[in-house]
A and B are shown apart, each in its own frame.
Chain A
Amino acid sequence: MITLSSVTQNSMQSPPRFLFQDLFDDTACSHIGSKDKKTTCERLQPGSCVSGCALEGAFNFLSPIQGCAHLIHSSPTCYNASRIQKKDGTEHFCTTLALNDLIFGAEEKLKMQISHIAKTYRPRVIFIYMTCVSSLIGEDIERIAKSMQQELGIWIVPVMSAGFLGVANFGVRIAGMALLKTLIGLKEPLIDTAYAINLWGYGLSETQRMSYRILFERVGMRILAFFGGDEAVEAIMGAHKAKLNVLINAKSLTPVARKFEERYGVAYVETSFFGARATCDALRVIAEQFNDGAVCRKIENMIHEKTKALQETCKAFHTLFSGKKVAILLNGLFSWAYIPLLEDFGMHVVAISIENLNEDDKEKAVDLLLGKGRFMYDPNVEFEEIVNEEPIDIVITDTDHCAIASRAHIPFFNIDRCSNPFFIGFEGEAAFATELSLTLQNPVFNIVYQNPPWQE
């Protein structure tokens, strides 16, 4: 554990300045850098009922890290609302800009807050988040962070996540870039790094993170740092010693992984662990990267063993699910990842929401569905039309969208609120099938979605 006193002044070199260009300096997405579309993927049209901003993405990506304080430089909402997704009641901080701060600048306020947090709570790192307001009034939080870091002897990381920069996806990228520029590489890891990997994910619950850990431990790999997970700050500082970066459904983090590769020579792979098929593929890709007999053997053994077991458990589900029509109504960044999982059970994906996906992921969704199915940009409007044309048996949804499904009188399965949402790996497939069958067979849907008996 690092205390304030053990941090020497020498190690507190200030990070390079944040350059907006870095975020786009990348060839990972085929749409970036192409002439006709300027520098970015397609952006949302104004006037649609859409989802979150860059701050949300950045905050949710960084907030699980243990022992840190988060200071959002804004008026209260930006922070108030973004923390509703947090599991516990940990305190986070907000500078609450008022009218006078906008006119005269809020530097003093920010500095006061930082020293208050440093002295009262003694966190190992303070993340300072830029928001729409603070960036528009031109707060130089990078300079403030630098000077306060020297003054207080504690790491202070500025995260330039002004909300208008883009969607949540983009915020994740900004946060990843901030980590890469500041914390990563500050310390040497204490554990053996021969089979060490870094995991990069976003929006994962605790149970999900746990099942990733178990999965990788079983094939003899060691997770050095879990980005987007409840990792200690030290682990993140030593992440550069890993042998491989594994991105889990995290397209937005590919530029970060590429920069990582440039700087520390750590290769990266993009994977998905939703369902057995995807898990097998992902594990094999990772084995290929290691190119190590022992690892390959372990992985193949596990795949063999697990697939066999899974076939037994899922036999019953196949008959129940096969031929059922399903729609995916998810706000999240990887709605496409559910497609192979559902198709493995013989279900047909009729419609999928792609409002938040970037172009490559959209293409992935199209590929996975072989061009069939409907793609929704604004599910509020489009879903009703689709339902009218085609009967749907079940909807996979989240809290934002479950009302749309219930309004259309279709059984829905709310991923966010389900009691045990760890749909990862082989066990995950069985768990998902169990939950889905419970929804599909739930007697309540027989009552609520039928006309009263006197109207038939």
Chain B
Amino acid sequence: MSCDLRAKERSGIINPIFTCQPCGAQYVSIGIKDCIAIVHGGQGCVMFVRMLFAQHFKDNFDIASSSLHEDSAVFGATGRVETAVDVLLARYPHVRVIPIITTCSTEIIGDDIEGVINKLNNGLLKEKYAGREVHLVPVHTPSFKGSMISGYDVAVESLVKAFAEQTTPNGKINLITGWVNPGDVTALKHLLAMMQIDATVLFEIESFDSPLMPDKSGVSHGETTVEDLKDTANAVGTIALNRYEGGKAAKYLEKKFKVPSVIGPSPIGIRNTDTFLKQLQTMSGKPIPEALVKERGIAIDAITDLAHMFFADKRVAIFGAPDLVISLAEFCIDMEMKPVLLLLGDDNSGYKKDDRIKALQANVDWDMEIIMNADLWELDDRIKNKGLKLDLIMGHSKGRWAAIDNHIPMVRVGFPTYDRAGLYRHPVVGYAGAIWLAEEIANTLFTDMEYKRNKEWLLNVW
């Protein structure tokens, strides 16, 4: 009867859950309109990440590399950044924003990115591209610190820092979504529209799910503009849905521009969505319309149809991004499931102080483990060698082998989910997300019942 929060004891990693910091920064960069990031490092730092994006969205995104070579490693590589910016601007006439994302190698060499940007601003941009609006933004994401989650956090903060400037109040709300899918953004914007709230969504990635239009338009790229980013300083308030993905930027805006901020919880499940709507209500002063109460009712109806009959006492393991994992655990508890193992892929000193984890520790009445800095071997090892019994695994596609090898049903959530079709289209946030999650979990369990011939007759009479 305990909930144990601790770091993994073994050194080294076997099958990591997360990718490193530049990956998060690159995810942020593709959310901005007319923006192509330059990753200052080896080519692999871009290629692997682009490959992940291409697998997840089945669509590809432009990210450039400064293609570091061994001579640069010896003599410094700032020259390659200069060439890269030049080549990029010449090739892509629409580019306005170029975040320069550092990697482990260039951070170790100690390339002075701010210096190069200064030099470029005064030299190349003035001479060769005079009259063209180009913003170069330094993003420091060495991969020996943190993970892709902290990389996302750092990049949002860097971009907001670079652009935000106070002019006239605009009465909008900043909504920092954190690392979500296009489907989530659609669901969040739906909630905002129902409450008639004007908001700046960071980042507007709905268009990652791009249509094939007759006129061949429709490139998958984010829609957040430079103006949106500048305007963040003039908002009524900031809501950062995920504490570890965008929380830093919200705090920065509060400190620098006195924009009040609310951080978390991620609106996954009924309770958290209720909290989110109440936050919106307090911040904007607008009422929550009856239509949303109806939507909430539909979601609750969908869940109650399933909860005690199929979900009760099911033992779940969840891995992935900290905010997602914790919120999913809360959602599972609401449905009488028992999350027995939570794996957080990185080691953040903030986890120990997190209220949500503290609440879990106070309320859980079964044995539950929360492992920080975990890898997928922690999950595999527990199932194979330590006798952990699981009824369900929730997490992203990299953990699929733990599910396949051990014959445990798995629900794919998070990033990346490349082994199921179109998951980026479905939300996990809001009431729509609660319905999708509950039904996805139920259907996965149903398929498993049929496959294993385990009380599959139950569904005859359900």
Which chain A residue has the least Cβ–Cβ distance from B218?
A407
Are A163's CB and B219's CB within 8 A?
Answer: no
Name the residue of chain A whose CB is nearest to the CB of B404: A89
Mark the stretch among B8-16, B123-131, B275-283, B446-454 that contacts chain A.
B8-16
A371 at the interface (CB under 8 A from B): no
- Docked Cα-Cα span, A166 to B67, in Å, equals 8
Which of B22, B84, B401 is the one whose CB lies under 8 Å from A77?
B22
The one of B13, B58, B70 in contact with A96, judged by C-beta atoms closer than 8 angstroms, is B13
Interface-located stretch among A48-56, A230-238, A361-369, A418-426: A48-56
* A45 cross-chain contacts in B, Cβ below 8 A: 67, 83, 87
> Which residue of A76, A88, A409 has the most chain B CB atoms within 10 A of its CB atom?
A76
Flag if A53 contacts B105 (CB, 8 Å).
no
Interface residues in A426-454 (C-beta closer than 8 Å to B): 448-452
CA distance A407 to B214 in the complex (A): 10
Task: Scan residues 213-229 of chain B and give those whose CB is less than 8 A from a CB of chain A.
Answer: 214, 216, 218-220
B135-176 contact mask (Cβ, 8 Å, vs A): 1 or 0: 000000011110110000000000000000000000000000
Q: Tell me if A165 is interfacial: C-beta within 8 Å of chain B.
A: yes
> A378: CB under 8 A from chain B?
yes
Q: Which residues of A contact B16 (CB under 8 A)?
A: 76, 79-80, 94, 96
Alpha-carbon separation in the docked complex, A165 to B44 (Å): 11
* Chain B residues, CB < 8 A from A80: 16, 18-20, 48, 398
Q: How many residues of B sit at the interface, in one of the four size bands?
A: 35 or more
Q: A116-B12, A167-B43, A403-B220 are in contact. Are A47 and B84 (CB under 8 A)?
A: yes
A55-79 near B? 1/0 per residue, CB < 8 Å? 1100000000000000000111111
Q: Are A133 and B44 interface neighbours, CB within 8 A?
A: no
Partner of B91, one of A47, A78, A399, A449: A47
Contact B47 A399 (CB under 8 A): no
| Residues on B with beta carbons closer than 8 Å to the beta carbon of A49 | 36, 46, 50, 62-65
Q: Which residues of A in the span 79-94 have a Cβ within 8 Å of any Cβ on B? A: 79-82, 84, 88-89, 91-94
B103 at the interface (CB under 8 A from A): yes
A370 to B108, CA, bound (A): 47
Minimum Cβ distance to chain B for residue A383 (Å): 12
Q: Verify B54–A399 contact, CB threshold 8 A.
A: yes
Given A77-B143, A408-B216: A46 and B44 interface contact (C-beta under 8 Å)? no
Q: Is the CB of B88 within 8 A of A56?
A: no
User: What's the least CB distance linking A75 to chain B, in Å?
Assistant: 4
Whether the Cβ atoms of A47 and B83 lie closer than 8 Å is yes
Flag if B214 contacts A47 (CB, 8 Å). Answer: no
B402 — which chain A residues lie within 8 A by C-beta?
89
B236 on the interface (CB 8 Å rule)? Answer: no
Q: Give A251 to B404 CA distance when docked, in angstroms.
A: 38
Contact (Cβ within 8 A) A95 B44: no
Q: Let me know if A53 and B64 touch, CB within 8 A.
A: no
A45-B87, A48-B65 known; A403+B145 contact, CB < 8 A: no
Q: Does A31 contact B (CB under 8 A)?
A: no
Interface residues of B in 67-110 (CB under 8 A from A): 67-70, 72-73, 80-81, 83-88, 91-92, 103-105, 108-109
Tell me if A132 and B50 are in contact (CB < 8 A): no
A113 within 8 A of B: yes
> In this complex, what residue of B is CB-closest to A88?
B401
Interface size grouping (class) on chain A: 35 or more
Using Cβ atoms and an 8 Å threshold, which residues of chain A touch B398?
A: 80, 84
In the complex, per-residue mask of A25-42: 1 if CB is within 8 Å of any chain B CB, else 0: 000000000000000000
* Interface residue? B199 (CB, 8 A): no
- Give the chain A neighbours of B15 by CB distance below 8 A: 89, 91-92
Q: In the complex, what's the smallest C-beta–C-beta distance from B339 to chain A, in angstroms?
A: 23
In the complex formed, the residue of B with least CB distance to A96 is: B13
* B194: interface (CB < 8 Å): no
Could you give, for residues 382-415 of chain B, a 1 whenever the CB lies within 8 Å of some chain A CB and a 0 otherwise? 0000000000000000101110110000000000
* Minimum CB–CB distance for B31 against chain A, Å: 17
B212 touches A166 (CB 8 A): no
Assess the A81–B19 pair: CB atoms within 8 A: yes
Q: What is the distance, in angstroms, from A125's C-beta to the closest C-beta of chain B?
A: 18
Please tell me if the beta carbons of A47 and B19 are within 8 angstroms of each other in the complex. no
Which chain A residue shows the least CB distance to B109? A136
Residue of A nearest to B210 (CB): A407
| CA of A80 to CA of B63, assembled, Å | 19
CA distance A449 to B216 in the complex (A): 9
Q: Are A400 and B91 touching (Cβ within 8 A)?
A: no
Which chain B residue has the least Cβ–Cβ distance from A55? B44
With beta carbons under 8 angstroms apart, the residue of B14, B83, B84, B219 that contacts A91 is B14
Q: Given A77-B48, A81-B51, A165 and B69 touching (CB < 8 A)?
A: yes
Cβ–Cβ contact A102 & B144, under 8 A: yes
Question: Which of B10, B11, B12, B23 has most chain A Cβ within 10 Å?
Answer: B12
Complex interface residues of chain A between 209 and 255 (CB less than 8 A to chain B): none
Asked if residues A43 and B67 are in contact (CB atoms below 8 Å), the reply is yes
Q: Which residues of B contact A133 (CB under 8 A)?
A: 104-105, 108, 143-144
The answer to the question of B55 belonging to the interface, with a C-beta cut-off of 8 Å to chain A, is yes
Which residues, 98 to 127 on A, are CB-close (under 8 Å) to B?
98-99, 101-102, 109, 112-113, 116
CB neighbours (8 Å) of A94 from chain B are 12-14, 16
Rounded to whole Å, the gap between the CB of A71 and the closest CB of chain B is 8
Contact B145 A43 (CB under 8 A): no
Q: Are A48 and B212 in contact (CB under 8 A)?
A: no
**Complex: how many Å from CA A96 to CA B51?**
21
- Answer yes or no: B252 CB below 8 A from chain A CBs: no
Task: Report yes or no: B214 in contact with A452, Cβ–Cβ below 8 A.
Answer: yes
Alpha-carbon distance between A165 and B42 when the two chains are bound, in angstroms: 8
Name the one of B13, B54, B103 contacting A403, with C-beta atoms under 8 angstroms: B54
| Contact A81 to B46, CB < 8 A, known contacts A47-B87, A113-B12 | no
Asked if A164 is at the interface of the complex by the 8 Å CB criterion, the answer is yes
Q: Which of A44, A101, A162, A401 contacts B67 (CB 8 A)?
A: A44
Give B395 Cβ to nearest chain A Cβ, in Å.
14
Q: Would you give the shortest CB distance from A449 to chain B, in whole angstroms? A: 8
Known: A77-B48, A89-B405, A406-B212. A112 touches B12 (CB 8 A): yes
For residue A278, CB closer than 8 A to chain B, the reply is: no
Among residues of A, the one whose C-beta sits closest to the C-beta of B397 is: A84
List of B residues within 8 angstroms of A98 by Cβ:
144-145
Q: Which 7 pairs, one residue from A and one from B, show the smallest C-beta to C-beta distance? A: A89-B401, A81-B48, A47-B87, A53-B44, A163-B42, A47-B84, A46-B84
Chain A residues in the interface with B (C-beta under 8 A): 43-56, 74-82, 84, 88-89, 91-99, 101-102, 109, 112-113, 116, 132-133, 135-137, 162-167, 378, 380-381, 399-401, 403-404, 406-409, 448-452, 455
Known pairs A77-B49, A97-B144 / 9 extra A-B pairs, C-beta < 8 Å: A43-B69, A46-B80, A81-B52, A88-B401, A89-B404, A97-B104, A113-B12, A136-B109, A399-B55
12 contacts between A and B (CB under 8 A): A43-B69, A49-B36, A76-B13, A82-B44, A84-B55, A89-B400, A133-B143, A136-B73, A164-B105, A381-B91, A400-B51, A449-B212
- Measured CB to CB, the residues of B under 8 A from A are 10-16, 18-20, 22-23, 36, 38, 41-52, 54-55, 58-60, 62-70, 72-73, 80-81, 83-88, 91-92, 103-105, 108-109, 142-145, 147-148, 212, 214, 216, 218-220, 377, 398, 400-402, 404-405
